[in-house]
Structure 1
Amino acid sequence: MKVVAFGGSDVGKVRENNEDNYLIYNLLKSQEGDIIEPEDTGEGILMVVADGMGGAAAGEKASEIVINTAKSTLIQYAHEKDPDEITFKAIEKAQEVCKSTVKINPEWMGMGSVATYVYIKEKRIYISQVGDTRLYRYRNKTLEQITEDQNLVTELVKIGLITPEQAVYHPQRNAVTQAIGAIENVIPMSYTFDLEVGDKILICSDGLNGMISDIELQLILDCSEDLKEILNMLINTANAYGGHDNITVIIAEILE
């Protein structure tokens, strides 16, 4: 299996600090960075987007914990656990470290992070979701949101109190119901599916999809085959629309 992936993060136009973080890690090469070149990734590739929350530097620390524990968990358990267990173990570890960090730094009480964890191995993708970061699949020129936001407006839509259209502008649209470190018992959502050659995987914080509609995301993906160009267009467009939040994006493609 060959995968190419690019990642980027931008503070946006309003926030002073960037509380987002991300990871792209190829286990075979012990390679980490903004780019995974097209090569054999049969041992597994881990990608994570984390969006921290909390006062002072707490949000930045929380998203950093998510990234660091994700990498260490993959290295520790890649050959011991089933692929669908690894991302759950990473969430458990991040939860533990966030709680212990708050005990040492009580001023960070309430720190937490939402996150989307993605582990790709042998042409299958395993996803664990906490909060409202998102994963989209772009297949055969069609964009589909795979993950479901764990937030208040999603629950209100489910029980029929508001419409999906109202959810977009609802004053509580950023109120998450699950967050690593900020919730006592985190309940992740999981997803898995077989990958096909040509699939593109888009992982993002809500600084992207909060500024750009799914229709516009689709149009951007339609207009280029260059992943680096797509990445830059996504971040630049979110900033052009106001950049109200930190913007973090990973875009990956299955080559063979």
Structure 2
Amino acid sequence: MAIALRYAARSDLGLGPKSRNEDSGYAGPNLLVLADGMGGHAAGDVASSMIVGELAPLDEEDVTADQAIPLLEEALHSANARLTKAMHENSDLAGMGSTTIVMLRTGNKLAMAHIGDSRAFMLRGDTFSQITKDHSFVQQLVDEGRISKEDAGHHPQRSVVTRVMTGQPDDEPDTSLREAKIGDRFLLCSDGLSDFVGADVIEEVLREARTPAEAADRCIEIALKASTRDNVTVIVADVVDADGDDLPSTVPQVVGAAGKRMRGRTRAIPTSPAEKAAALSRAATGRAEPDDDSLELAEDRTRSRRSKILLRLVAAVVIAAILGGGGYAAWAWSQKQYFVAADAGRVAIFQGVSQDLGPIRLSHVQSPSDVRVTDLPSDVQGAVANTIPARDLTDAQSKIEALRAEAVRCQRLAATGIPCGTTPAPTPTTPPTIPTPTGSTTPVPGATPGVTPGTKPAAPPKPGAAATSPPPRALAATTAGVIR
């Protein structure tokens, strides 16, 4: 019996401090993609949009089960190479990255690739299960038996990820191939949902919702009620009989950052070949978009060479618009930024960005301090040398205070003849940290070896909990100890 997918994609900015949606999602007849960008000012929205743009053409591919996994791996390597190229061409994008979950239907099977801590769940009959394993520091602790699964939800470093798409050659995803059965319901979600809403509540929503659209809307609703401080994106897909009464979906939907680039909003938008052609025509002539989203256009369901070319063209236009618009926005944004760095041997707050534009300096010392760089631990000195970004002036001042405390600690150790960098390491659950820009952290002596966080906001583990300042989400290297 042939299967098909009935799906819905939704995304929301969330209730946190982020001013733009860094998530991107794509749902099509044969392809589901969710990418959660990270990097804050380093353009996480660009990273997630580029990944979706690179993977979207797979929706038009006819592949066998044997071809599916290699095809996914090839497409993800290509997407990663695009990130590398973009960062080389535009230094403002340096440090961007994204989680990725992608499912590709091939016959009655689903090929899946996953990297990062976005999650996929499956509801099959009485069984509800998470079918991805987080690439995170806390998950490593669970695997090693050092903490329990219950403890993981409260761990202060629960948002430190160890593997994501960053343009590096060793960004390898996990892959799998599973049989899909009629009646299965799949959920792909960013951590804006899973970090703020318990798995039991998510299961209840998926069981009670009559349609994928109802389930997706409800997931966004409960995430907002739980005061999610992160972008939240979900894709819900039901496996249906291709020839049955429960009609499958045929029009792809794009949401989040990728959707906003294409139409300036973050809810689901149709991207059938006919509609994409109409959108390109409106963009070329300057005509306004129609307000009636219920407008139905003829759907060309034939997988022709022409439709493949058009889909690739749209992806290229999206990427070009991202990079072009990002350049102008980066200039305006750069004049409103703060960071902490060294000035004449002492730590200081700078206003602007650390890069220069030819002979033009884009930053100046806003506020000096009495903290000497040489009084800090060696690894923190390196962080200061590389500059520590801040969300605003208040955040930068708090970083100065944290550095001052470290300097005082090292001075006291030096007075007793103990080098600052040789203090006993604390347990992995309580590493001292210094705040960085979007809630990220810079490691200090005693932090867990091999994990170098740089982050985005995470969340309380129980649904409906009052919003607090959650531990940040971090991007960490593994054994190589390289900051990505």
TM-score, with length taken from structure 2 = 0.47
| 8 Å Cα contact 1:73-1:89 kept in structure 2 | no
Q: CA deviation at 1:83?
A: 1.1
- 1:246 matched to 2:231: yes
| One-letter amino acid of the counterpart of residue 69, structure 1 | E
Q: State the secondary structure of the residue aligned to 2:200.
A: helix
Matched position secondary structure for 1:255: strand
The question of 1:131 aligning with 2:94 is answered no
User: CA–CA distance in 1 between the matches of 2:223 and 2:76?
Assistant: 28
Structure 2 residue identity aligned to 1:23? Y
- Give the Cα–Cα distance (whole angstroms) in 2 for the partners of residues 142 and 180 of structure 1: 31
Please tell me the residue identity of whatever aligns with 1:212: V
Tell me what 1:227 maps to: 212
Counterpart CA distance in 1 for 2:154 and 2:195 is 10
Determine if contact 2:31/2:58 at 8 Å carries over to the other structure: no
2:156 is equivalent to residue 171 of structure 1: yes
Residue in structure 1 matching 2:21, options 18, 22, 32: 18
Residues of 1 paired with 2:87 and 2:40: CA distance?
12
Q: Distance in 1 between matches of 2:168 and 2:81?
A: 11
Structure 1 unmatched ranges of 5 or more: 27-44
Percent identity of paired positions between Structure 1 and Structure 2:
28
CA deviation string 1:59-99 (max 9, x = no partner):
00000011001023555x64598011221112101110000
State the distance in 1 between where 2:155 and 2:222 align. Answer: 22
Is 2:10 aligned against 1:8? yes
Larger RCO of the pair (alpha carbons < 8 Å, separation 6+): 1
Q: CA deviation at 1:183?
A: 4.2
CA distance in 2, matches of 1:25, 1:219: 25
**Letter paired with 1:17:** R
Residue in 1 that maps onto 2:146: 161
Q: Distance in 2 between matches of 1:228 and 1:114?
A: 24
| Structure 2 counterpart of 1:108 | 93
Deviations 1:179-206 (A, max 9, x none): 1125441121112211111000111111
Structure 1 or 2: larger strand share? 1
Question: Deviation at 1:2?
Answer: 2.3
How far off its partner does 1:243 sit?
Answer: 1.5
Q: What letter is aligned with 1:9?
A: S
2:14 match: secondary structure: coil
Once the two structures are TM-superposed, the CA of residue 111 in structure 1 deviates from its matched residue by 0.5
Aligned counterparts, 1:181-220, within 5 A: 181=166, 183-220=168-205
**Distance in 1 between the 2:63 and 2:118 partners?**
28
Residue 91 of structure 1 aligns to which amino acid in structure 2?
L
User: Residue 82 of structure 2: which of 82, 92, 97 is its match?
Assistant: 97
Q: SS at the partner of 1:144?
A: strand
| Alpha-carbon distance, 1:25 to partner | 2.5
Please, which moves more after superposition, 185-194 or 77-86? 77-86
The equivalent of 1:122 in structure 2 is 107
Tell me which amino acid in the other structure corresponds to 1:246: N
Residues 42 and 94, structure 2, Cα contact 8 Å, conserved in 1:
no
RMSD: 1.6
Q: Aligned equivalents of 2:153 and 2:227: distance in 1?
A: 16
Structure 1 residue identity aligned to 2:38: M
Structure-2 separation of matches of 1:89 and 1:68: 14
Which stretch of structure 1 is more off in the superposition, 182-191 or 48-57? 182-191
Whole-Å separation in 2 of the counterparts to 1:222 and 1:24: 21
Contact 2:114 2:132 in 1 (8 A): yes
Contact 2:42-2:95 within 8 A present in 1 as well: no
CA distance in 1, matches of 2:59, 2:223: 32
Cα distance in 2, alignment partners of residues 223 and 73 from structure 1: 32
Find the aligned partners of 1:79 and 1:161 in 2 and give their Cα distance.
42
Tell me which amino acid in the other structure corresponds to 1:224. A
Equivalent residue, structure 1, for 2:56: 71
For structure 2, the 5+ residue unaligned runs are: 242-484
Change beyond 3 A, Cα 1:189–1:46: same
Instruction: Determine which of 59, 69, 87 is the counterpart of 1:84.
Output: 69
Alignment partner of 1:89: what SS?
A: helix
CA shift in 2, pair 1:120/1:73, >3 Å: closer
1:109, distance to aligned residue in structure 2 (A)? 1.3
Larger radius of gyration: 2
SS in 2 for 1:169: coil
Q: Which amino acid aligns with 2:213?
A: K
Change (3 A) 1:117 1:83: same
Q: Which residue is 1:53 aligned to?
A: 38
